[in-house]
Amino acid sequence: MRRQSETLKMLAVIDAGMHREFDGDSFKSASFEMYDGSYKVTSDFAVLKTDNAGNVQELPVHYCKGGIYPEVSISGMQIKLYVLAMICIDNTAFEKYQSGLEINHCVISKTEPKLLNIGCDNAYYRGVVIDTAPLKKLSADTNYLEFCTRSENVKHGKFIKDFSLYDTYVSAHDVDELRQLLIPYDPSLCDRQDDWIRWNRAKVEKFYRDRGETKRILF
C-alpha cells in the first residue's frame, strides 16, 4: 500500500469526481471540478483549467527531479502528469496506484549523468546518480506507460541498460521473454557495439510485430 500523502489524497479527490469520455475504445477527454475551477484533460493529455471567473488556460508542464518527470499544478499542488493520464484512461488506475503498483515508462533514453536527491517509498536517498530518463515526448503518453510492481520496474531499468535498449519500447512484463531472444554483450563486440545495439533493437521490434503490436517501437 502506498504511503498516504497529500498528493495521494488529491488524486483520490480527482478520481472520485472524474468524468471520462471515450470514442469507442479511444480516450477522448476527462474532466473534474476543484474548488478553484474546472479541469479538462484532452485526448493528447493537455490539461485545461477554467477558473471560477470563466478564464481558460492550458496548464504549463514542468519537469521535476532534474528535468525527468512531467507535472502540472492542480489547485496549487504539483501532480505528475503521467499519473493523471493513467487515471484519466482507466477508472481502476487510482486503486492500482494506491495499492503500491508503480507506473513504468516503457521507453527510456540515455541522458547526461545527474546527481539527485530522490525520495522512494519511505526512504530518502542523497546523491543518486541518474543517467537515464523517460523519453520526454512520451513521458505522459499512456500508450507507453504501464502498471507494474517495484521489482518489475527495477528489472526493466536494468534490462534496458544491460542491452542498451534506449529509445526502444519494452514492457516490463516482457523482460524475461525478451532476454532469451537477445544477444548478450560480449567484450569481443566492443568494436561493433553499434551493430550489437541495432541487432537487438531489431529483435525487439520483430518480437512485438509478431505479437500484432502496431504502435511505434523504435525511436
- How do residues 76-121 score in pLDDT, each as one tens digit? 999 999 999 999 999 999 999 999 999 999 999 999 888 876 655 4
CB 36 within 8 A of CB 52: yes
pLDDT in tens, 36-59: 999 999 999 999 999 999 999 999
* Residues 138, 92 within the same domain: no
Give 145's contacts (C-beta < 8 A, 6+ positions apart).
82, 85, 86, 103, 104, 105, 106
Residue where one domain finishes, among candidates 38, 66, 98: 98
Q: How many separate domains does the chain show?
A: 2
CB 50 within 8 A of CB 56: yes
Strand partners, 70: 63
CB 145 within 8 A of CB 103: yes
Pairing relationship of beta strands 123-134 and 108-120 according to DSSP bridges: antiparallel
* Residues 109, 203 within the same domain: yes
Residue recorded with cell 493537455 = 46
* Residues 135, 206 within the same domain: yes
Q: Check residue 104 and give its pLDDT.
A: 98
Residue 215 lies in a domain: no
* Residues 83, 123 within the same domain: no
